């Protein structure tokens, strides 16, 4: 299947490594110009933008801070002129023991919600406003998690809650703005072989990540990227509002 995304500007958050890097690479391979968002990995992000070509550029923002998401969007628009597709991929998974210090638990909760849900929500809002102002169709693709549906271990309570909120946000966008040409989708991975999953696997063992999958290997970032590219193409627009499970059948609806 040939997908041509030439002429489309796509903002991918958390794109300097892991799932985001694979997504950005696949989108650029299809011709898109990618705004490569990063927090701390400046060299990796700038190198990636250079490799991607198509006038792709790197943009820094710390999405754990309240004003950064809006500022990120505004900078991308200023430098690139428009955004046709938003991919909310950036996320954190911070363990917080329920019997630890309450202040630590609250801090972890707030940071997780800020990055995974609030900043993602702000970017969705800004993107929708941008689409409506231009009277143009567009797509929002949110990377959620199977944890949104089946929950997670107790110390990752905030992570599961944030991803559940992101699912509902996506569904609401799809229902509210479909007639304006705006489509929204969720992709829900399980464990993916990334740095984010490393902490949990070190604590619980690799068996914890692979015991309930039905395929022969753990999901990798390269397995997620083609689905994002397909959704970005417009060929699945009537699936707007849906969640696509990509977790090797460790959770199925």
The residues that are catalytic are 159
* DSSP code, position 182: E
What is d(CA 252, CA 150) in angstroms, rounded to the nearest whole number? Answer: 9
Consecutive H or E run containing 7: none
**Residue 40 in 3-state DSSP?**
coil
Distance CA 232, CA 33 (A): 13
Pair type for strands 57-60 and 85-88: unpaired
Full DSSP string of 43-83: HHHHHHHHHH-TT-EEEE--TTSTTHHHHHHHHHHHHHS--
> Residue 148 and residue 190: Cα distance in Å, rounded?
10
The Cβ of residue 207 has, within 10 Å, a number of other Cβ atoms equal to 9
Which residues, in sequence order, are bridge partners of residue 11?
35, 86
Tell me which residue of 197, 186, 244, 252 sits closest to 220, measured CA to CA.
197
The torsion angles phi and psi of 62, rounded to 5 degrees, stand at -95, 100
- Helix (H) or strand (E) run with residue 171 in it: helix 157-177
């Amino acid at each position: 299947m040939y997908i041509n995304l030439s002429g489309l500007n796509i903002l991918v958050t958390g794109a300097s490594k892991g799932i985001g890097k694979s997504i950005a690479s696949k989108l650029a391979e299809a011709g898109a110009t990618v705004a490569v968002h990063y927090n701390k990995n400046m060299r990796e992000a700038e190198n990636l933008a250079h490799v991607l070509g198509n006038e792709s550029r790197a943009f820094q923002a710390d999405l754990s801070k309240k004003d950064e998401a809006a500022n990120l969007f505004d900078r991308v628009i200023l430098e690139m002129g428009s955004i046709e597709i938003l991919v909310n991929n950036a996320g954190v998974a911070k363990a917080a023991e329920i019997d630890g210090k309450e202040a630590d638990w609250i801090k972890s909760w707030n940071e997780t919600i800020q990055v995974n849900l609030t900043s993602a929500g702000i970017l969705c809002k800004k993107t929708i406003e941008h689409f409506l102002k231009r009277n143009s169709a567009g797509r929002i693709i949110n990377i959620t998690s199977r944890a949104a549906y089946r929950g997670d271990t107790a110390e990752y309570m905030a992570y599961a809650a944030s991803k559940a909120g992101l699912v509902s946000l996506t569904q609401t966008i799809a229902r509210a703005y479909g007639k304006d040409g705006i489509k929204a989708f969720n992709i829900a991975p399980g464990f993916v072989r990334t740095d984010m999953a490393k902490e949990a696997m070190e604590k619980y063992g690799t068996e914890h990540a692979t015991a309930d999958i039905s395929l022969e290997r753990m999901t990798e970032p390269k397995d997620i990227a083609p689905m994002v590219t397909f959704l970005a193409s417009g060929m699945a627009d009537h699936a707007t509002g849906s969640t696509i499970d990509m977790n090797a059948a460790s959770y199925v609806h």
